[in-house]
């Protein structure tokens, strides 16, 4: 699976017993076939809390508000976030949660899928979490959180990890805004791209180590998929597949597929979010120009068709 529309993705509701925690959740990246990235769409009713206040020790989270508003609770301080805002929570950063505003909230949550390591002792219900022993609870932790209600907070200024779309300077004539970087993201990037009619985003390319997820926000366009290079053949000049795009479409491009991708705007233009990892070991291939880019080295080189191989290397 590469492409899904969020109207076609089955969601789930947080049960009533967990109130004030709640919301309608959709695992969009899963539905699109992602491997190492997660992306969820959450719709909150007024006064619903999206998760218990929490912080991750290794993973980084990026939130992008699609519509409505919410109260951000961060380390005991609160502020209002609205449509277009991006929130970045780095690993080991502030404790945080969101509470739906008067009109509710629609938000996208992007994150990594790092594999946690914990040793479980089932006879005593104890687990080793890093160097600390912890008790394994029999009930879902959100049940205990629900009994505590909405946490108290003191209204304050918007922190530096919350950025408004209009406050981020665009690149390439304003077409690309690095929202994640503006909010302090370190391990992954979230960019908002707004293409004029008939323009393409990044040239067709594929990654050896980086994974990407795209969410169409507005307009219409086309997803192009370019087949893998063939031994002894010149660079490709046309995509192998094309798929129509509109608001709500989610595109997943895992690493190592050898299938290049490109998003191209239609007559009405195309706006989308691009979320991806930043692996220093990544090698990016551009089929039209026959070039390779080594991220960690900052080097670009052109390859010859005879350097390709079909199947596994010898």
Q: For the stretch 193-219, what's the b/e string if a residue is b when 16 or more beta carbons lie within 10 angstroms of its beta carbon?
A: bbbeeeeebeebbbbbbbbbbbbbbeb
What total of structural domains would you count in the chain? 2
- Three-state DSSP class for 63? strand
pTM as predicted: 0.90
Mean pLDDT of the chain: 92
Q: How far apart are CA 62 and CA 112, in angstroms?
A: 10
Q: What average pLDDT score do residues 79-94 get? A: 96
Question: Domain range spanning residue 87?
Answer: 3-113+138-162
Residues 208 and 283 sit within 8 Å (Cβ to Cβ): yes
Task: Tell me which of 119-128, 198-207, 239-248, 266-275 is least confident.
Answer: 119-128
Residue 88: how many other CB atoms lie within 10 Å = 25
Residue 18 counted as domain residue: yes
Pair 86, 188 in one domain: no
Q: Is the pLDDT of residue 118 over 90?
A: no
Pair 55, 156 in one domain: yes
Residues 66 and 36 sit within 8 Å (Cβ to Cβ): no
Q: Read off φ and ψ for residue 31, nearest 5 degrees.
A: -65, -30
Residues 265 and 198 sit within 8 Å (Cβ to Cβ): yes
Pair 108, 211 in one domain: no
pLDDT interval class at 313 (50, 70, 90):
very low
Pair 75, 213 in one domain: no
Residues 32 and 1 sit within 8 Å (Cβ to Cβ): yes
Pair 196, 147 in one domain: no
Residue 127 counted as domain residue: no
Q: Is 162 exposed, middle or buried (0-12, 13-18, 19+ CB in 10 A)?
A: buried
Pair 98, 185 in one domain: no
Domain with residue 258: its CATH number is 2.60.120.10
Pair 170, 286 in one domain: yes
Pair 179, 301 in one domain: yes
Q: What is the pLDDT of residue 314?
A: 43
């Amino acid at each position: 699976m590469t492409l899904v529309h969020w109207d076609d993705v089955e969601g789930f509701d947080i049960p009533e017993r967990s109130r004030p925690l709640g919301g309608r959740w959709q695992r969009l990246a899963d539905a699109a076939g992602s491997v190492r990235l997660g992306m969820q769409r959450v719709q909150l009713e007024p006064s619903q809390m999206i998760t218990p206040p929490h912080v991750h020790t290794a993973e980084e989270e990026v939130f992008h508000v699609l519509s409505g508003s919410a109260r951000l609770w961060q380390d005991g301080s609160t502020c209002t976030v609205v449509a277009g805002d991006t929130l970045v929570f780095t690993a080991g950063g502030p404790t945080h949660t969101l509470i739906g505003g008067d009109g509710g909230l629609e938000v996208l949550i992007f994150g990594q899928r790092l594999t946690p390591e914990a040793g479980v002792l089932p006879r005593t219900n104890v687990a080793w979490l890093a160097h600390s022993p912890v008790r394994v609870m029999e009930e879902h932790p959100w049940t205990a959180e629900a009994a505590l209600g909405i946490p108290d907070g003191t209204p304050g200024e918007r922190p530096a990890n919350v950025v408004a779309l209009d406050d981020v300077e665009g690149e390439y004539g304003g077409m690309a805004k690095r929202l994640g970087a503006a909010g302090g993201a370190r391990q992954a990037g979230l960019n908002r791209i707004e293409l004029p009619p008939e323009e393409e985003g990044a040239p067709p390319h594929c990654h050896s180590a980086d994974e990407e997820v795209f969410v169409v926000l507005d307009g219409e366009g086309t997803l192009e998929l370019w087949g893998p290079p063939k031994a002894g053949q010149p660079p490709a000049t046309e995509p192998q597949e094309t798929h129509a795009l509109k608001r709500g479409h989610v595109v997943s491009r895992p690493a190592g597929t050898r299938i290049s991708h490109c998003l191209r705007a239609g007559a009405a233009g195309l706006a989308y979010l691009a979320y991806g990892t930043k692996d220093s070991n990544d090698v990016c291939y551009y089929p039209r120009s026959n070039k390779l880019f080594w991220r960690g080295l900052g080097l670009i080189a052109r390859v010859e068709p005879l350097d390709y191989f079909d199947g596994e290397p010898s």
